[in-house]
Amino acid sequence: MQDIEEKIKSREEAAELLEEFRKDNKCVVFTNGCFDVLHPGHVQYLQASRKLGDILVVGLNSDDSIKRLKGSERPICEESARAYMLASMACVDMVVVFDEDTPVELMGALRPDILVKGADWEGKELPGSDLVGRVEFMKFLEGWSSTDVIGRIKKALQSELG
């Protein structure tokens, strides 16, 4: 069994490993996101994504990237904790942190076969979709998003504080 930390790779390490997997005709699935507060919706999404191929790589937005995309109050969990949580999941083969606002540069380096995104991206311009053989959209688990979870926590704190 692979140690959790061994699943967290630099862009260069990941690209090198994926080249080796490709020689064995392994299908590489890629998804990305903030994964700020890991919840059942993430788990379902990642498990379904993994079933699409042989290797699941998760591109993880860095802390700086999330601040630019979601505001100064995010992320809730720092990137090392988020990477560790994702890497602890059996369905995730590799986690690569990226600092850009989109995963396009990372995808260019990793060259995945399949890109998986949430169903909310369907019909929208999807950065990096031109770099893969196919795009798959996943439905979300109703009522579960990091924004929803954070909102519930804030509401609970406000009611507790009066």
Which pLDDT score is estimated for 133?
Answer: 94
Q: Can you tell me the mean pLDDT for 45-51?
A: 97
The confidence band for 130, taking pLDDT boundaries of 50, 70 and 90, is: very high
Of 74, 69, 72, nearest to 32 by C-alpha is: 69
pLDDT tens-digit map of 142-155: 878 777 888 888 88
Residue range 55-105, pLDDT digits in tens: 999 999 999 999 999 999 899 999 999 999 999 999 999 999 999 999 999
Instruction: Write the CB contacts of 144 (distance below 8 Å, at least 6 apart in sequence).
Output: 39, 40, 41, 42
Q: Tell me, what's the pLDDT at 56?
A: 98
Greatest CA separation for the chain: 60
Per-residue pLDDT for 1 more than 70?
Answer: no
CA-nearest of 116, 8, 109, 4 to 62 is 8
CA distances from 150 to 74, 156, 159 (A): 10, 10, 14
Q: How far apart are CA 65 and CA 70, in angstroms?
A: 9
* Domains of the chain listed by start with CATH number: 5-161 (3.40.50.620)
> Could you tell me what percent of the chain has a pLDDT over 70?
99
Find all residues with CB under 8 Å of 66, minimum gap 6, and list them.
34, 36, 74, 75
